[in-house]
Structure 1
Amino acid sequence: MDGDTIVIDGTHIRIAGIDAPELDHPWGKKSKWTLVQMCKGQVVTARLRPDLSYDRVVAECFLPDGRDIAAELVRAGMALDWPKFSGGRYRHLEAPDARKRLWRADARQRGKLPPKSEIKG
């Protein structure tokens, strides 16, 4: 779907604790394709959480070797830690320039942009 949403057996799953750029952001498509390449041909395990995000299930997602997909996306500079939902779990993995580069995701987290569900496009 995008850099922080995957589809497993027809269910849209929001990857917990991170925020990736929207597809119309300069880094949005790169984030999406990083996630696609990471998961392609893999069996992804989703540990569901009780919350919903804009009618999407929220889950911690893992690759077969145990790697946390959220951590891998943040480490690759394709997503930001979202402390409100992660408790800061991934912040130490962010590249020094990640918040500047992914400025719209950072602004959304600080309440400077509308939530994803209100963004038209």
Structure 2
Amino acid sequence: MEVLILLGIIAAAYLLIFRGNGSRKKGILDFRDRNNSGYSSLHKSNSNGYTAPNVHPLQKPSPKALRHRTKGIEHDPPPEVPTSKRLRGKAWVIDGDTIVVSNIKVRLAGIDAPELDQPWGKKAKWEMVKICKGQTVDVELTGETSYDRLVGTCYLSDQTDIGAELIKAGLALDGGRFSHGKYRHLEPKGVRKKLKFYGHWR
């Protein structure tokens, strides 16, 4: 009798083990599907198609893992805002509203300039080069960030507002709600019709 009971227990245990393995093979819900780090290999995507990096909760993510996407383009995370909220140095121009000062990308506050691949975009860039060439630029940071850039108002050594000069040249517009109309009075007549095919702030 004891032998029969023992055989029954062994058979039941074998059946449970066999059915457990079968459920995993058939794809039945199983939360033990982990990668080598012990962290789930599932990724989450947001509405922009950005896929969250697969990083263990206790592991510091790499700079590459922190890169984020904007309209299909990857951007590095923005640098930390200096405690002084100021930068000073020669400027390297990227486009009509972005320059590099002290190795930090700066998005000019309160102006909206066309991108390089848009009408007037290259002309806006070269006007910015003309304004900044050979000049030392002072940046007063707002504390805000824009993608991989810090945001700030940029001045030449004689306190000329660089953004204002680009608007006067008819190659950028006042930044609307971001500038609270600060530069609107500097826009040349008819410039909004000329630059109507770009811009996101108005």
Residue of structure 2 in register with 1:109 after alignment: 201
Give me the whole-angstrom Cα distance separating, in 2, the residues matched to 1:96 and 1:105. Answer: 17
Residue of structure 1 in register with 2:14 after alignment: none
User: Identity rate of aligned residues, in percent?
Assistant: 55
Residue of structure 1 in register with 2:163 after alignment: 70
**1:44 lines up with 2:137 in the alignment:** yes
Give me the whole-angstrom Cα distance separating, in 2, the residues matched to 1:105 and 1:67. Answer: 26
Give me the whole-angstrom Cα distance separating, in 1, the residues matched to 2:158 and 2:187. Answer: 22
**Counterpart secondary structure, 2:189:** coil
TM-score normalized by the length of structure 2: 0.52
TM-score normalized by the length of structure 1: 0.85
1:26-60 deviation per Cα after TM superposition (whole angstroms, max 9, x unaligned)? 20000000001100100000001111111210000
Residue of structure 1 in register with 2:109 after alignment: 16
Moved beyond 2 Å, runs of 4+: none
The residue type equivalent to 1:56 in the other structure is R
Offset of residue 10 of structure 1: 1.5
Q: Which protein is bigger by CA-based radius of gyration?
A: 2
Higher helix proportion (structure 1 or 2): 1
Offset of residue 103 of structure 1: 1.4
- Contact 2:178-2:201 within 8 A present in 1 as well: no
Unaligned residue ranges in structure 1 (runs of 5+): 111-121
How big is the alpha-carbon RMSD for the aligned residues of Structure 1 and Structure 2? 1.1
- Contact 1:39-1:63 within 8 A present in 2 as well: yes
**1:82 lines up with 2:175 in the alignment:** yes
Unaligned residue ranges in structure 2 (runs of 5+): 1-93
**Counterpart secondary structure, 2:143:** strand
**1:98 lines up with 2:194 in the alignment:** no
Offset of residue 9 of structure 1: 1.9
With CA pairs under 8 Å and 6+ residues apart, which has the higher RCO, 1 or 2?
Answer: 1
Give me the whole-angstrom Cα distance separating, in 2, the residues matched to 1:38 and 1:9. Answer: 18
Number of residue pairs matched by the alignment: 109
